[in-house]
Structures are given as structure tokens and as C-alpha cells.
């Protein structure tokens, strides 16, 4: 039987559970493949060589969820550490095939493969590629039959797992550890994104076609986690409500199973088509909060980003959430080529008048190859590095000097704003190395989405100060 060691090198704090590894191992074990997990949040890195020498895996699979923190202010890349990891595995266990995969890897697989000097990568969905690669190590399959494979000289055809019969078993990873230290568990209800947002690489990594999971299997998964004492969740779809009927079916199933009051969940969502009946139903099914990535409110910028919503849609979605009792976070992406002082002023005024629970303010657009934004910059003659594996951000050159100070002024003294600031790192809501958040979860037992924990912690502290 082929043996695989799946490695989670993502030690960003607070920790997020490696859901990709959980799903992969469930799929592979069901097909009779032996899988062990080496999770660097749990196992000391120093024991990796020993594990490799005793377990002797045919394949060591490294999961690259994040290649960097995607934050203009900090721009921390994780790839050098991955390159060292690859070379350490090769030294400790020369016969083991080192394979890279994961959503971060899938953003630019061939460049990352070359940089890290791993032999093989599998981009996109990992399940079938890893299975066939395992069979290949036993001579039961050829490399040509490995979907999504990428090597120094070959790129396999893309393969997309059908999720209709996907009933993952939860429990290969230590979900309790992540709940205690990261405040939630992740769950995927769909894969892929059919939207056209010009800067986003999700459709490249996950496919443009939306594949839906069976609501029964989603609820079965929630029940498995509830049995472990885990009751706070975050969806791990590109966007949860791309297909309204799917959301309705999942919520109805949760309610029908009688667990709507026991689960507390959060989602990333789109505002267009989000209305009161949907908000009410989601609330009944346990939804606590939604994070809408709205980017902006100015028509010309939303049009440039190829977003489907306009300010009115945002207003309706925020009001629907407020009425249903769902907390709402709006995420902004500022600094586009159309941005100017007027559009900046306008978007902050709109935020203040909409008054959502929280607003996350980021500026600087991380540029990924093969996105429309990448082609736009190329056409405009903007200087982009040939290789984009290290963080590279676009920010309108006409604004780059003033934008930080201007935003600081706009958000000063207003508690609804989180701001990733170059000048004021203490205002950052970056979830990388966020000590306030880590402490709130592991010592003060806050649970839920990170933005909502920060919000509730602030609210509770303010309330206590007022009381004292
Ligand atoms: C949900 C989400 C969050 C939630 C997580 C909630 C939770 N409890 O899980 C929150 C809001 C907390 C979050 C935080 C962050 N996130 Co986030 N997040 C996502 C999102 C939408 C889903 C990730 C996920 O779990 N997918 C579902 C799993 C099943 O898929 P998967 O991991 O890709 O695994 C599959 C394949 O990739 C493959 N695979 C996985 N591992 C392996 C290994 C091998 C060997 C192989 C062969 C295959 C393979 O098989 C799996 C099954 O098919 C992705 C974007 C996306 N659409 O995927 C961004 C994303 C991963 N996040 C991103 C970032 C930057 C972050 C932050 C660093 C942001 C920040 N600075 O604060 C933090 C990091 C937090 C941390 N501790 O790691 C970026 C990473 C991009 C980059 N440049 O590296 C992404 C890609 C979004 C984006 N497009 O910019 N995130």
C-alpha cells in the first residue's frame, strides 16, 4: 500500500485548520492509501526527519495554503521556508517524492515549483491527482494519468472533483486544537467561482465552474464537528452565496436536522442578490456574521473591478443583515487606477452612513499572473516583475504617497474601521501574527470569525470600562 505523509507548514497565528489536508486524507484513506499527517502547529519541526525515517513515506505532500500574507503593509512571504523544507525532506529521505499542492501553490504553480525545487506539484483540486500519484509509485498508473500534475516539463490537464458524492470524514487533523487556539473550524460547501473580478485568482486556483456539495453531506460534516464539541464554523468556499438555492437548501437542512440553534457560523459572501428572506433563513440556521468583499462604492471603480454590485446592493444587504440580527463586515480594496481623493472621500462617507458592524480597509492590489488585472497592467506599460511569487502590489502611483495618511484621517476615532496601515501598524487587522486575536481565543475563550472576535472583544472591553 502506498504511504503518504501530508505536511502542514502553515504556522500563521492564530492558527487556521488545514482543511485541504483534512479533505485529502479523508478521500485517500477511503481509497485504501495510508496517510499520516505532520502538522507543524502541533508537531515540532525538529521531529520531521525522525518521522520521515520511521514512516518512510513514498510521497511527502506539502500543503501551501498561503504563499504570503497578501498584506501590502507587511508583505511577508513564506516561500523561502518552504524551499528549506523541501531540501530538508530530500536530505532526510532521498527516496521520498516531494509534492507540492494547495490553493497558494495553485496561484502560480510552475514558478513556485522552480523556486522551491520540489519535483512535482498538483494544482487545483488535490484528491484525484494525489490518488493517481500514489498509484504511480506502485507502477499502477502512469504520470500521464495524474490530473493537475505539474513537473519541470509537463503540465497535466485540469481535473475537477465532482462534489456530489463527497462525504468527507472529519478527524484526520486535530480540529479541537484549532478550535481552542483558532476559534473555529472550516467547512467547504462549494468549489469554484463564476465571477469576473479582475484582480482575483480564485477562479484560477479553484475553477470557474461552481461545484456544489450535497447539503446532506455538509450537515453530516457539521454534526461530526459538533460531536467533537466544535460549534463555530467558517465557510471555506470562494463565496458562500453564489448560488442562492444552494444556500437555501443547506440552511433548510440545518434547520430540519434541529441543529440551527447549536451551530454558529460565518461566511464570505457577495451582496448582489442578498436580501431579507435569505438573511432571515441564514440566521435561523445559525449564521452569526457575514464578510462581504465589496471593494468600493464608486460606480467607475466597481465597473473597472468587474463587480456585479453597486452601492444600492450594498445598502440592501447591510440592512437585511441588520434586520435579521447578522453582524456584517465590509471589506474595501482601495488604490486602483481610478482611485483619487474624491473616490476615497466618497467611500468613507458611504461606510459611515451604511454603518455596518465593521469595515476592513486595505489598499494595494496583490498582482497574480493570468488575472485580467495582470493583463491590464501589462497593456498599460506598468512595470511588473517577471516572476510574481514574491508579494507584489499595485497602488495608483498618483496616490501612493498620501493614501495612508489620508485614510488614517478618515478613520481616526471611528471604531467601525479596521485599517492595515503602513504608518500605524498598531491599527492592523492582519490575521498574520495577530497577538491580540491569539490571546482573545486561547486565553479569553472567544470563538468565531476573527473580525467578529475583535469586534466583540472591543465591545466587551468598552462595556466593562463604562461599568467600572
Ligand atoms: C476561508 C478562507 C479564510 C478564512 C479561514 C477560515 C477557516 N476556519 O478555515 C480566514 C478569514 C480566517 C482566512 C484568513 C487568512 N487568509 Co484566507 N482564505 C480562505 C479561502 C476563501 C478558503 C481556504 C480553504 O480552506 N479552502 C478549502 C480547502 C479544502 O481548499 P484548499 O486548502 O485549497 O485544499 C484543496 C487543494 O488546494 C488541494 N491541496 C491542499 N493541500 C494540498 C497538499 C498537496 C500535497 C496537494 C497535492 C494538494 C493539496 O487539495 C484540497 C482539496 O481539493 C481561500 C481562498 C480560496 N478560495 O480557497 C483564502 C486564502 C487561502 N487566504 C488567503 C490569505 C492571504 C489569508 C490570510 C494570510 C490573510 C491575512 N493576512 O490576514 C489569513 C491567514 C490565516 C491563517 N492562519 O492561515 C489567500 C492566500 C493567497 C496567498 N497569496 O498566499 C487566499 C488564497 C485568498 C486569496 N485569493 O487571496 N482565510
- Which ligand 1 atom is nearest residue 23's CA? 52
Q: What is the 427 CA–ligand 1 centroid distance (Å)?
A: 24
Q: By three-state DSSP, how is residue 368 classified?
A: coil
Q: What is the 1 CA–ligand 1 centroid distance (Å)?
A: 30
pLDDT in the model for residue 425: 66
Q: What is the 431 CA–ligand 1 centroid distance (Å)?
A: 13
Q: What is the 409 CA–ligand 1 centroid distance (Å)?
A: 32
- Which ligand 1 atom is nearest residue 71's CA? 71
- The residue nearest atom 23 of ligand 1, judged by CA position, is 236
pLDDT in the model for residue 73: 87
- What DSSP letter does each residue of 122-183 carry, written as one string? E-S--HHHHHHHHHHHTTSS-GGG-TTEE-SS-BPPP-----TT--PPP-SS-HHHHHHHHS
For the stretch 249-267, pLDDT in tens is 999 999 999 999 999 999 9
For the stretch 278-318, pLDDT in tens is 999 999 999 999 999 999 999 999 999 999 999 999 999 99
How far apart, in whole angstroms, are the C-alpha atoms of residue 260 and residue 332? Answer: 31
Averaged pLDDT, 370-396:
97
Residue of higher predicted confidence among 428 and 1: 1
Average pLDDT over the chain reads 96
Is a pLDDT exceeding 90 seen at residue 466?
Answer: no
b vs e for 366-393, b when ≥16 Cβ sit within 10 Å of the residue's Cβ? bbbbebebbebbeeeeeeeeeebbebbb
Structural domains in the chain, CATH included, are 3-150 (3.40.50.280), 184-467 (3.80.30.20)
With the most atoms of ligand 1 within 8 angstroms of its CB, the residue from 65, 146, 161, 168 to mutate is 65
Q: What is the 238 CA–ligand 1 centroid distance (Å)?
A: 9
pLDDT in the model for residue 154: 86
The C-alpha R_g of the chain, in whole angstroms, comes to: 22
Exposed, middle or buried: residue 317 (CB in 10 Å: 0-12, 13-18, 19+)?
Answer: buried
Strand intervals (E) in 64-114: 97-101
pLDDT in the model for residue 464: 86
Averaged pLDDT, 309-334:
98
How far apart, in whole angstroms, are the C-alpha atoms of residue 407 and residue 399? Answer: 11
The torsion region of residue 445 among left (phi > 0), alpha (psi -120 to 50) and beta comes to: left
Q: Which of 385-389, 426-430, 460-464 has the lowest mean pLDDT?
A: 426-430
For the stretch 20-68, pLDDT in tens is 999 999 999 999 999 999 999 999 999 999 999 999 999 999 999 999 9
For residue 195, the Cα-to-chain-centroid distance in whole angstroms is 16
Structural element, H or E, at residue 397: none
For the stretch 149-195, pLDDT in tens is 999 888 999 999 999 999 999 999 999 999 999 999 999 999 999 99
How far apart, in whole angstroms, are the C-alpha atoms of residue 102 and residue 110? Answer: 13
Q: What is the 66 CA–ligand 1 centroid distance (Å)?
A: 6
For the stretch 229-242, pLDDT in tens is 999 999 999 999 99
- The strand pair at 97-101 and 120-122 is best described as parallel
Averaged pLDDT, 438-463:
95
- The residue nearest atom 27 of ligand 1, judged by CA position, is 236
Q: What is the 468 CA–ligand 1 centroid distance (Å)?
A: 41
For the stretch 222-231, pLDDT in tens is 999 999 999 9
Helices 175-182 and 435-442, axial angle in degrees (round to 10)? 120
Helices 244-256 and 276-284, axial angle in degrees (round to 10)? 30
pLDDT in the model for residue 147: 96
For the stretch 410-428, pLDDT in tens is 998 899 999 987 777 667 7
- The residue nearest atom 34 of ligand 1, judged by CA position, is 20
Q: What is the 65 CA–ligand 1 centroid distance (Å)?
A: 5
Q: Cis omega (within 30 of 0) on the bond before 40?
A: no
pLDDT in the model for residue 389: 98
pLDDT in the model for residue 293: 98
For the stretch 56-114, pLDDT in tens is 999 999 999 999 999 998 999 999 999 999 999 999 999 999 999 999 999 999 999 99
How far apart, in whole angstroms, are the C-alpha atoms of residue 372 and residue 378? Answer: 10
With the most atoms of ligand 1 within 8 angstroms of its CB, the residue from 2, 103, 389 to mutate is 103
Which residues does a 6 A CB cutoff place in the pocket of ligand 1?
10, 12, 15-17, 19-21, 23-24, 61-63, 65-71, 99, 101-104, 106, 122, 125-127, 129-130, 184, 186, 188, 201-202, 206, 234, 236, 238, 268, 430-432, 450
b vs e for 267-283, b when ≥16 Cβ sit within 10 Å of the residue's Cβ? bbbbbbbbeeebbbbbb
- Which ligand 1 atom is nearest residue 133's CA? 47
pLDDT in the model for residue 468: 66
pTM: 0.97
Residue 117 has a CB neighbour count (10 Å cut-off) of 12
Q: What is the 398 CA–ligand 1 centroid distance (Å)?
A: 32
Amino acid at each position: 500500500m502506498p504511504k503518504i505523509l501530508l505536511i502542514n507548514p502553515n504556522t500563521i497565528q492564530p492558527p487556521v485548520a488545514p482543511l485541504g489536508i483534512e479533505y485529502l486524507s479523508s478521500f485517500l484513506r477511503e481509497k485504501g492509501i495510508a496517510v499520516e499527517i505532520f502538522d507543524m502547529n502541533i508537531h515540532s519541526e525538529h521531529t520531521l526527519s525522525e518521522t520521515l525515517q520511521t514512516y518512510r513515506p513514498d510521497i511527502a505532500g506539502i500543503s501551501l495554503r498561503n504563499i504570503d500574507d497578501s498584506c501590502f503593509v507587511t508583505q511577508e512571504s513564506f516561500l523561502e521556508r518552504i524551499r528549506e523544507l523541501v531540501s530538508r525532506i530530500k536530505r532526510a529521505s532521498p527516496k521520498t517524492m516531494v509534492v507540492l499542492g494547495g490553493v497558494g501553490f495553485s496561484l502560480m504553480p510552475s514558478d513556485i515549483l522552480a523556486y522551491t525545487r520540489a519535483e512535482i506539484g498538483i494544482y487545483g483540486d488535490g484528491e484525484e491527482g494525489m490518488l493517481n500519484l500514489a498509484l504511480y509509485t506502485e507502477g499502477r498508473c502512469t504520470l500521464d494519468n495524474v490530473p493537475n500534475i505539474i513537473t519541470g516539463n509537463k503540465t497535466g490537464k485540469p481535473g475537477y472533483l465532482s462534489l456530489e458524492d463527497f462525504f468527507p470524514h472529519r478527524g484526520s487533523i486535530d480540529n479541537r486544537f484549532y478550535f481552542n487556539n483558532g476559534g473555529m473550524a472550516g467547512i467547504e460547501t462549494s468549489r469554484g467561482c463564476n465571477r469576473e473580478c479582475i484582480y482575483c485568482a480564485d477562479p484560477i486556483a479553484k475553477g470557474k465552474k461552481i461545484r456544489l456539495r450535497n447539503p446532506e453531506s455538509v450537515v453530516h460534516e457539521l454534526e461530526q464537528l459538533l460531536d467533537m464539541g466544535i460549534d463555530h464554523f467558517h465557510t471555506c468556499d470562494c463565496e458562500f452565496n453564489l448560488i442562492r438555492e444552494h444556500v437555501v437548501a443547506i440552511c433548510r437542512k440545518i434547520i430540519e436536522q434541529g441543529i440551527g440553534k447549536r451551530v454558529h457560523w460565518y461566511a464570505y459572501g457577495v451582496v448582489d442578490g442578498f436580501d431579507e428572506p435569505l438573511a432571515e433563513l441564514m440566521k435561523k440556521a445559525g449564521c452569526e456574521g457575514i464578510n462581504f468583499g465589496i471593494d468600493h462604492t464608486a460606480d467607475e471603480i466597481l465597473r473597472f473591478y468587474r463587480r456585479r454590485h453597486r452601492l444600492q446592493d450594498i445598502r440592501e444587504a447591510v440592512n437585511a443583515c441588520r434586520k435579521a440580527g447578522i453582524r456584517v463586515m465590509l471589506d474595501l480594496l482601495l488604490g486602483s487606477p481610478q482611485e483619487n481623493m474624491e473616490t476615497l472621500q466618497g467611500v468613507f462617507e458611504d461606510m459611515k452612513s451604511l454603518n455596518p458592524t465593521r469595515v476592513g480597509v486595505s489598499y494595494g492590489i496583490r498582482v497574480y499572473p493570468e488575472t485580467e488585472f495582470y493583463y491590464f497592467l501589462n497593456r498599460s506599460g506598468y512595470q511588473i516583475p517577471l516572476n510574481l511569487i514574491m508579494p507584489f502590489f499595485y497602488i495608483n502611483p498618483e496616490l501612493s504617497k498620501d493614501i495612508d495618511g489620508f485614510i488614517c484621517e478618515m478613520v481616526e476615532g471611528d471604531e467601525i474601521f479596521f485599517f492595515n496601515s503602513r504608518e500605524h501598524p498598531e491599527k492592523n487587522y492582519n490575521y498574520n501574527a495577530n497577538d491580540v486575536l491569539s490571546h482573545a481565543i486561547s486565553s479569553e475563550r472567544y470563538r468565531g470569525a476573527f473580525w467578529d472576535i475583535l469586534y466583540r472583544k472591543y465591545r466587551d472591553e468598552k462595556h466593562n470600562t463604562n461599568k467600572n
